């Protein structure tokens, strides 16, 4: 259990990566603050964790609201007395299409949730982590910031800003004991992608087979397995790692 007794806040705990990270972090011994806008969804995940013998609380959270971000941090401290980790997984994805045709308001929403939302949460946990002299922030980014993909321009722009926030805060937090890193996820098999593949109808199986064949590991990485990289960055095994950009994509992109 590499996260034993660590208190970890995870944002964006909707279907997919966020929920997988909550469940996996709990299995690794973390006390998890499950957050998202959907009250029912996060309560279901928290109840599941507790039923399995773990510790979790559900806190409704819209990361575009600073007061709610502070309330999520306070809930963690009120329950367990500290905050050891923050996973910024919340995001908003503009409608698919060429960037030049994007609705600018949707692009701004992507920034507000994915980049500014992560900064709000960092601001919310910072006083506690600074007072402790320790903490780990892991920002969830995307392969499309390395390898631009059609339809993901606005989303990629927001995540690109998140990437820079990682580097900047890692330097700014020097000497505080707070580490900041990014895990850049590629194609992940989970509820969101399963839904997309099913929407392809008769072409679903062919798409799945082709996409898997294009990834060096030979399959589309499951979101629960990709989340393991996040636990590493949260853990003491990564005690000397900060400002890093970890590619988690099965070799779909091989960084220089």
In the set 92, 126, 155, 231, the catalytic residue is 155
> Mind giving me the DSSP string for 73-120?
HHHHHHHHS---EEEE-----PPSS-GGGS-HHHHHHHIIIIIIHHHH
CB 232 within 8 A of CB 238: yes
155 is catalytic: yes
Total Cβ atoms within 10 A of residue 194: 14
CA distance between the termini of the chain: 32
Tell the burial category of 209 from Cβ atoms under 10 Å away from its Cβ (0-12, 13-18, 19+).
exposed
Q: Among residues 235, 220, 136, which one has the least CA distance to residue 185? A: 220
Beta strands (DSSP E) in 151-222 are: 178-185
- Beginning with the edge strand found earlier in the chain, give each strand of the sheet holding 245-248 in spatial order: 55-60, 31-36, 7-10, 85-88, 135-142, 178-185, 245-248
Q: What stretches of the chain adopt beta strand conformation (E)?
A: 7-10, 31-36, 55-60, 85-88, 135-142, 178-185, 245-248
Q: What's the token pair of residue 154?
A: 């606005």
Residue 241 corresponds to which tokens in the numbers above?
A: 């790692």
**Active-site annotation, residues:** 155
């Amino acid at each position: 259990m590499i996260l034993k007794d660590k208190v970890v806040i995870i944002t964006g705990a909707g279907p997919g990566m966020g929920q997988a990270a909550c469940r996996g972090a709990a299995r690794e011994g973390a006390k998890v603050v499950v957050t998202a806008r959907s009250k029912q969804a996060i309560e279901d995940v928290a109840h599941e964790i507790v039923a399995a013998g773990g510790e979790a609380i559900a806190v409704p959270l819209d990361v575009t609201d600073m007061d709610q971000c502070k309330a999520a941090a306070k809930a963690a401290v009120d329950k367990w007395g500290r905050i050891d980790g923050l996973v910024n997984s919340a995001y908003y994805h503009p409608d698919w299409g060429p960037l030049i045709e994007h609705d600018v308001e949707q692009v701004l929403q992507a920034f507000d949730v994915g980049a500014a939302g992560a900064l709000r949460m960092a601001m919310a946990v910072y006083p506690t982590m600074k007072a402790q002299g320790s903490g780990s922030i892991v920002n969830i980014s995307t392969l499309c910031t390395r390898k631009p993909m059609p339809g993901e321009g606005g989303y990629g722009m927001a995540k690109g800003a998140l990437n820079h926030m990682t580097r900047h805060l890692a330097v700014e937090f020097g000497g505080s004991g707070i580490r900041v890193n990014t895990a850049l996820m590629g194609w992940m098999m989970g509820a969101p992608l399963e839904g997309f593949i099913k929407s392809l109808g008769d072409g679903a199986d062919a798409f799945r087979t082709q996409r898997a064949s294009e990834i060096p590991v030979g399959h589309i990485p499951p979101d629960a397995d990709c989340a393991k990289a996040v636990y590493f960055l949260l853990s003491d095994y990564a005690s000397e790692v900060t400002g890093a950009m970890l590619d988690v994509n099965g070799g779909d992109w091989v960084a220089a």
